[in-house]
Structure 1
Amino acid sequence: MTAATENASQVESFGVPWEGSYGYVQAIRRGDTIYLSGQLAHDGENLVAPAPVDEDGRVTDFSNTGEQLRRTYANAQELLRRFGASLDDVVEEVVYALDVDAVLQVAGQVRKEAYGREDPRVASTLLGVTRLAFPQQVIEVKFVARV
C-alpha cells in the first residue's frame, strides 16, 4: 500500500441535521480501517423507538432499549455497506447505555442477530453513561471495522 493510498479517505453521512450542527461525519475510512461515529436509532431525522421522558428530560421507561439497539446495528450495517463492508468486518464496538441492566437484558440476543452468529467475533465494551445526545435516546454504539 502506498502512502497516498494509506492516507486516502472516504467519508459517509446520513444527512441528518445533527451532523451539521455538531460538525462531524458518520463514518470515515482511512487505509484499511473504517471508523463509525456513535450510532443511534434513527430513520433519518426521527428517532426510532424514543424512550418516554419526564418533565426534566429523564428517561422513565427503558423497555425500548432492544428496539433502539436493533435499529442502531441496522444503521451501522448501512454505513458499512457504503464502504463495501459489513458487520463481519467489525473488530471493536463500544456500547454506551443509560441503563446497563436494561441493555444486558436484550443485548445478547440483539447482538447475535445483528452479527449473525452465536459468538460475535468482535471486541466489545459496555459503558454506563449519565446522558446521550438526545433525551429519548437510551443507547449508542461506536464501531471500528477492518477491511
Structure 2
Amino acid sequence: MSSTQQVERFGVPWEETYGYVQAVQRGDTIYLSGQVAHSGTDVVAPAPVNDAGLVTDFSLMGEQLRQCYANAAELLRRFGASLDDVVEEVIYALDVDAADAAAGPVRKEAYGRPDPQVASTMIGTSRLAFPELLVEVKFVARV
C-alpha cells in the first residue's frame, strides 16, 4: 500500500478530543469516518431526549440522514470525488425501523438515482456520539 495519503478534517473539537480525521485517502480509496448530522459544532435536527438522555422521538431521522450525506459529499469534494464514487456505506441507527423508512428516499436523493449503486448495510445500535443523534453513516469511495 502506498504511504502517500491525504486527510481531511472539519475542524470540530471532537476530532482532537477523540483523535481522528474525517477522511483519509490511500491510493485510489477514500475512507470516511462515520458522518453524523452536524454543521460546525451544532447538531442538525437534534432528536428530543428525556432526563435520562434517551431519545423520545425518531421522526427527524430523514433530516439527520440528509446532513450525513451532505457532510460526506463535502468531504469527498475535497478529494475531487463525489457520492458517485461511493462503493460501500454502513448506516448505524438507533431505530432501524425509522432509519429504514427514511433511508430509501434520502439515499435515492443523495445519490441522484432510483437505484443507488452502493453496497449498503444497516446496523442497529444503542447509542451514538451525542445523545441527540439518531444515525451515523460510514462511507468508502474508490476513485
TM-score range, shorter chain: over 0.9
Q: SS state of the match for residue 7, structure 1?
A: coil
Q: SS state of the match for residue 55, structure 1?
A: coil
Tell me which residue corresponds to 2:86.
90
Tell me which residue corresponds to 1:120.
116
Tell me which residue corresponds to 2:30.
34
Q: Which structure 1 residue ranges, 5 or more long, are not aligned?
A: none
Q: SS state of the match for residue 105, structure 2?
A: helix
Which amino acid in structure 2 is aligned with residue 107 of structure 1? Answer: A
User: 1: CA distance between counterparts of 2:27 and 2:102?
Assistant: 34
1:129 pairs with one of 125, 132, 136: 125
Matched, 1:17 2:2: no
Which amino acid in structure 2 is aligned with residue 145 of structure 1? Answer: A
User: 2: CA distance between counterparts of 1:117 and 1:100?
Assistant: 23
Which amino acid in structure 2 is aligned with residue 85 of structure 1? Answer: A
Tell me which residue corresponds to 1:145.
141
Task: Report the Cα offset of residue 106 of structure 1.
Answer: 1.0
Which amino acid in structure 2 is aligned with residue 90 of structure 1? Answer: V
Q: SS state of the match for residue 35, structure 1?
A: strand
Tell me which residue corresponds to 1:57.
53
Aligned residues: 143
Q: SS state of the match for residue 139, structure 2?
A: strand
User: 2: CA distance between counterparts of 1:21 and 1:121?
Assistant: 35
Tell me which residue corresponds to 2:64.
68
TM-score (norm 1): 0.96
Percent identity between matched residues is 72
User: 2: CA distance between counterparts of 1:95 and 1:66?
Assistant: 12
- Runs in 1 of length 4+ with deviation above 4 angstroms? none
TM-score (norm 2): 0.99
Q: Which structure 2 residue ranges, 5 or more long, are not aligned?
A: none
Task: Report the Cα offset of residue 104 of structure 1.
Answer: 1.0
Q: SS state of the match for residue 93, structure 1?
A: strand
Which amino acid in structure 2 is aligned with residue 47 of structure 1? Answer: V
Tell me which residue corresponds to 2:104.
108
The alignment yields a C-alpha RMSD, in angstroms, of: 0.7
Which amino acid in structure 1 is aligned with residue 54 of structure 2? Answer: R
